[in-house]
């Protein structure tokens, strides 16, 4: 069953096409990655799916609902972990989770139980009352990850989940994502790290300048084009992804 479908999806700013007529379908339970350099249109695509940006044209349905018609209903079932830190600096760790759950209509008592459980999952149980400013970059990312889980989402959207993290913190975020995959939650992520895409994604869409140039399992892509995903990217776009 497809949980997200896009046809000729386009986002335009003046004459510039941030996303230029892309098509894709995401199946329930898979981990799907948008791979590409900065400016490829990955984040814009994510923001359209999470009903933050209205598409300029084309068609985008999440859970069979149009993002233009039912944004609130769609957002209620999504868990969004954005690229930028937007934790609430006026609140401590557990307050962040409880207040955020409140936006989904989850009561304080229930939110507290869930927050405690999720903080165990990211090993921050001992620091419930720590202010956000005292957290490391890796802790903030992990906290943003579980904040996106507070509403028991059916799709989790992770925009560059490990960008800017040191290797240890990156692995710690990956471990959590792997656990989520075991629970067969649909995961949608953007990345410009080859390793991240190879390790986690069941399928990847390779994006370049607003278009999807290839979409398949990492394995099939590597067999079709030869080499590793980095080589695939180079062959398809004539450019290197990292460096």
Partner 1 sequence: MKASHISSVLRRHMTVYTKLYLSSIALNFAEPILYLAAFGIGLGAFVQQIDGMPYLNFIAPGIIASSATFGAVYECTYGTYVRMFFQKTFDAILATPVSLYELVAAELIWGALKSAFYGSIIMLVLALFGLLPSALILFAIPVLFLSGLLFASLSMIVAAVVPGIESFNYFYTLFMTPLFLFSGIFFPLTGLPPFVEKIALFSPLHHLVTACRALANGQTGGVFADVLWITAALVLVIPWPFRLMRKKLIK
Q: Is 71 in the site for partner 1 (CB under 8 A)?
A: yes
Edge-to-edge strands of the sheet including 186-191?
A: 78-81, 155-159, 186-191, 31-35, 203-208, 211-216
Contact 121, 176 (CB under 8 A): yes
* 206 phi/psi in degrees, rounded to 5: -90, 120
Burial class of residue 129, CB neighbours in 10 A (0-12, 13-18, 19+): exposed
Of positions 91, 222, 234, 236, contacts partner 1 by CB under 8 A: 91
Of positions 65, 99, 222, 236, contacts partner 1 by CB under 8 A: 99
Of positions 4, 22, 41, 75, contacts partner 1 by CB under 8 A: 75
User: Count H helices, E strands: the chain?
Assistant: 9, 10
Q: Is 65 in the site for partner 1 (CB under 8 A)?
A: no
CB of 97 to partner 1, least distance (A): 12
Q: Is 23 in the site for partner 1 (CB under 8 A)?
A: no
Of positions 100, 193, 225, 233, contacts partner 1 by CB under 8 A: 100
Number of Cβ within a 10 Å radius of residue 117: 12
Q: Is 80 in the site for partner 1 (CB under 8 A)?
A: yes
What is the C-alpha to C-alpha distance for residues 39 and 149, in angstroms, rounded to an integer? 27
Q: Is 137 in the site for partner 1 (CB under 8 A)?
A: no
Q: Which stretch binds partner 1 (CB under 8 A): 20-28, 73-81, 174-182, 188-196?
A: 73-81
Q: Is 72 in the site for partner 1 (CB under 8 A)?
A: yes
Contact 55, 9 (CB under 8 A): yes
| Pairing state between β 2-13 and 57-62 | antiparallel
Each residue 144-173 as x (binds partner 1 by CB under 8 A) or -, in order, gives: -------x----------------------
Of positions 17, 21, 23, 76, contacts partner 1 by CB under 8 A: 76
Of positions 23, 59, 85, 230, contacts partner 1 by CB under 8 A: 85
What is the C-alpha to C-alpha distance for residues 117 and 135, in angstroms, rounded to an integer? 19
CB of 61 to partner 1, least distance (A): 18
CB of 238 to partner 1, least distance (A): 30
Alpha helices (runs of H) in 56-149, residue ranges in sequence order: 71-75, 93-103, 108-121, 137-147
**What are the residues binding partner 1 (CB under 8 A)?**
13, 50, 52-54, 71-73, 75-76, 78, 80, 82, 84-91, 95, 99-100, 102-105, 151
């Amino acid at each position: 069953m497809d949980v997200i479908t896009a046809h000729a999806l386009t986002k335009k700013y003046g004459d510039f096409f941030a996303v230029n007529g892309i098509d894709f379908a995401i199946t329930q339970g898979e981990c799907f990655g948008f791979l590409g350099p900065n400016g490829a249109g990955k984040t814009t695509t994510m923001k359209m799916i999470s009903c933050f940006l209205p598409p300029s044209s084309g068609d985008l349905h999440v859970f069979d609902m149009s993002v233009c018609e039912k944004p609130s209903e769609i957002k209620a079932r999504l868990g969004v972990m954005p690229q930028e830190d937007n934790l609430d600096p006026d609140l401590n760790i557990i307050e962040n989770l409880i207040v955020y759950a409140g936006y989904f209509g989850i009561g304080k008592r229930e939110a507290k139980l869930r927050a405690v459980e999720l903080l165990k999952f990211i090993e921050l149980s001992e620091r419930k009352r720590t202010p956000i400013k005292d957290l490391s970059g890796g802790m903030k990312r992990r906290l943003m990850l579980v904040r996106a889980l507070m509403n028991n989402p059916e799709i989790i959207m992770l925009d560059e989940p490990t960008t800017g993290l040191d290797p240890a913190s990156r692995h710690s975020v990956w471990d959590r994502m792997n656990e989520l995959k075991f629970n067969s939650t649909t995961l949608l992520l953007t990345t410009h790290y080859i390793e991240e895409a190879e390790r986690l994604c069941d399928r990847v869409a390779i994006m370049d300048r607003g278009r999807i140039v290839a979409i398949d399992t990492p394995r099939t892509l590597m067999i079709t084009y030869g080499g590793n995903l980095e080589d695939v990217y180079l062959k398809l776009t004539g450019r290197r992804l990292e460096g």
